[in-house]
Chains A and B, each alone.
Chain A
């Protein structure tokens, strides 16, 4: 019985550690995606400015409160605008941004295909 309890505790600690490690990974992922607003071109993850340190704390707190990654982004976008996110959101402002390169790729492929088909004839 005692042995079982012992193993249960170990299992809980083990899972907790993995969850904690995951949590840290997600936190890092989020802070790498946030722009430090008072630095010139640094992410919050990389920066050691006052604002970045505070923001890292806010991200940590929000995660502990149960916010998901997307909810944190939404929260911060509401306070600071879309400029704070390095990964451009996919909305009507950015359709062209995401699609244009892909369109160019397809267009280029079509030209090449045409050229090669012409030759086969």
Chain B
């Protein structure tokens, strides 16, 4: 009870602190030359209070304080400690508190790390960020209070969904939010810089670090979510084009595009309109995503609590931010029409422009696919589903030119290029197509498009490797990131093409033989764990000469009362062997699903490589300094 009270009052105090922050900021904006250190102090106090509040909630979870409604709804005394703690942010109210932590943290860090920049710019950024912070404080306290008191105090909580008790999922929200919510600082600073006509090389160099930090965490956050889906949801997929996944992908697409525009802005002081619009768009998409998954407007695998009242608040807040940004952009932005005449056709700037073009297309596909059902339902009361086939059909063909441009683009020079190495590039492309052809021709799949797609991905793959040998560490961050991307596409394609699966019903002791595998159900053992009963099945799978032993599990939880199926996955360097076991209503046998999924590990590694590129870029500057 104590911790909840501390948490609640810290939250209220934190909101109150916004007022001196705003007051001093406005005063400082007009007057002195130097930043008023009181702004930094009060921002720190606000951060401190929010963190105390957050800790208050965490400790309420740790000590199973069921007088707190959020703890009651989402925890249980038998939950392991690690999951009690991660349960703090695994629910609607707690995750919003995490939003506030990141919002206040980032503005404070921004203030400390921008000492060399224009004072007015720093102060205005604080003001814009405070609009967002106050909005979330009000939202939290009024409609999503994590510290609601319930009486009489229940003895036991309602427990967290056991599917969410997983290490990857436990750290997925904090990592994701550092990226997702972290883009708020990019939003605020872009608005501030636009208002003051401060968009320039200096600003670009400064904001680039924030873009990189946000981007790296967002990439890793999405990766963790996919890894969790793969290991935990039990059907061997890692991306379902589910609304919640799309909602994290959209800011990522905008942020990646922004990153490339910032590079142009830094080097050539161009594409400033793109940079501003994308900075606004990234955070807007984050907010839009929050709206879509918390308001109950969409139906998805992992939406949070559905409450239309909360939805209305976020919707209104979101559109206020959008209108504010539009207003600022159109009043204050001065386009760099003088500079745009210096774009030559064959130049790095053009290739980045083309990159923007494709990325915006991909973004529009994901956005339209996700929100179209809502529009259709409201306008004509028709409910349709937009699923993976839609996204695959619209994205896959465009990946081919995209990959090729991604390979050629970095070869071009800034301003103007002659493309001297034309011959090498063309030869490598032909080689890639040939390799791809040899791989695909023996398979009975969509021959033409797969050949060209794999060929293009291979092309990027070979070009980035070649660049590494030719240019060494000169532009390694870009190389690794693009190489990682090519590897990602190749891994996904090969995984798709070479996966195989066996589904059968077996009783204990039975076996099944297909022309490729033989699977034997050896035995079924029962164990008692802390908060569930476990039934482990032991299976032997024989393929040619190789024999594997796998043990999928069925878990019967007591609180809440559900049964989950835990896959057993054997991961090797080249392939994953994946097995799940499920009960069948009224039958004594189990439904067994065995899959061989090649290159899964490479999918995860390639995303790590992409983030590594960003990480290197972040630290390279410091090293060079």
Contact = CB atoms under 8 A, between A and B. Distances in A.
Do chains A and B make direct contact within the complex (CB under 8 angstroms)? yes
Interface of A: 32-33, 35, 40-43, 46-48, 50, 53, 81-89, 93-94, 96-98, 100-102, 104-105, 108-109, 112, 115-116, 118-120
A83 B376 CA distance: 12
B156 interface: no
B345 A120 contact: yes
B235 A41 contact: no
Contacts of B584: 53
Given A40-B301, A41-B240, A82-B385, A116 B357 contact: no
Contacts of B357: 105, 108-109, 112
Given A43-B387, A85-B385, A119-B343, 4 more contacts: A93-B376, A101-B364, A101-B365, A115-B353
A41 to B, nearest CB: 4
Given A93-B382, A104-B364, A33 B301 contact: no
29 contacts: A32-B388, A33-B387, A33-B389, A35-B387, A40-B302, A40-B303, A43-B387, A48-B582, A50-B585, A81-B383, A83-B383, A85-B385, A85-B387, A86-B385, A86-B386, A86-B389, A87-B389, A88-B385, A88-B386, A97-B368, A97-B369, A97-B372, A97-B376, A97-B390, A101-B361, A102-B394, A119-B340, A119-B342, A119-B343
A81 B373 CA distance: 14
Given A33-B389, A83-B384, A108-B357, A101 B582 contact: no
B394 A112 contact: no
A49 to B, nearest CB: 9
Nearest to A121: B341
Contact of A101 (B303, B343, B394): B394
B312 to A, nearest CB: 23
A102 B364 CA distance: 9
Interface of B: 235, 237, 240, 242-243, 299-303, 340-345, 350, 353-354, 357, 360-361, 364-365, 368-369, 372, 376, 380, 382-390, 393-394, 398, 565, 582, 584-585, 591, 593
A87 B103 CA distance: 39
Contacts of B369: 97
**Main DSSP-derived SS at the A contact region:** helix
Contacts of A119: 340-345
Given A33-B387, A42-B301, A86-B389, A101 B344 contact: no
A93 B387 CA distance: 16
Nearest to B357: A108
A115 B353 CA distance: 10
Contacts of A104: 360-361, 364
Q: Identify which of A83, A86, A112, A119 gathers the most chain B CB atoms within 10 Å of its CB.
A: A86
A100 B565 CA distance: 40
A71 B235 CA distance: 28
Contacts of B360: 104, 108
A113 B343 CA distance: 12
A101 B360 CA distance: 9
Nearest to B585: A50
Contacts of A43: 387
A19 to B, nearest CB: 13
Contacts of B585: 50
A106 B211 CA distance: 29
B235 A46 contact: yes
Contact of B299 (A40, A82, A101, A116): A40
Q: Which 9 A-B pairs have the closest CB atoms?
A: A86-B387, A87-B389, A41-B301, A46-B235, A48-B582, A105-B361, A83-B383, A101-B365, A108-B357
Nearest to B235: A46
Given A100-B364, A119-B343, A46 B390 contact: no
Q: Identify which of A41, A47, A48, A94 gathers the most chain B CB atoms within 10 Å of its CB.
A: A41
Given A40-B301, A104-B364, A119-B343, A82 B383 contact: yes
Contact of B372 (A53, A82, A87, A96): A96
A104 B366 CA distance: 13
Contacts, number: 107
Nearest to B387: A86
B368 A41 contact: no
B589 to A, nearest CB: 13
B368 A87 contact: no
A32 B390 CA distance: 13
A42 B235 contact: yes
Contacts of A115: 340, 343, 353
A48 to B, nearest CB: 4
A105 B340 CA distance: 22
Contacts of B383: 81-83
A84 B385 contact: yes
A46 B237 contact: yes
Contact of A100 (B235, B368, B376): B368
A51 B261 CA distance: 49
Q: Identify which of A42, A50, A82, A88 gathers the most chain B CB atoms within 10 Å of its CB.
A: A88
A84 B383 CA distance: 9
Contacts of B368: 97, 100-101
Nearest to B353: A112
A118 B368 CA distance: 31
Contacts of A48: 565, 582, 591, 593
Given A40-B301, A108-B361, A82 B382 contact: yes
A33 B384 CA distance: 13
Nearest to A87: B389
B388 A86 contact: yes
Contacts of A50: 585
Contacts of B384: 82-83, 85, 88-89, 93-94
Nearest to B340: A115
Nearest to A94: B384
Contacts of B300: 40-41
Contacts of A86: 385-390
B246 to A, nearest CB: 11
B302 to A, nearest CB: 8
B380 A93 contact: yes
Q: Identify which of A53, A97, A98, A115 gathers the most chain B CB atoms within 10 Å of its CB.
A: A97
A33 to B, nearest CB: 6
A116 to B, nearest CB: 6
B343 A97 contact: no
Contacts of A101: 361, 364-365, 368, 394
B345 A116 contact: yes
A50 B582 CA distance: 11
Nearest to B367: A101
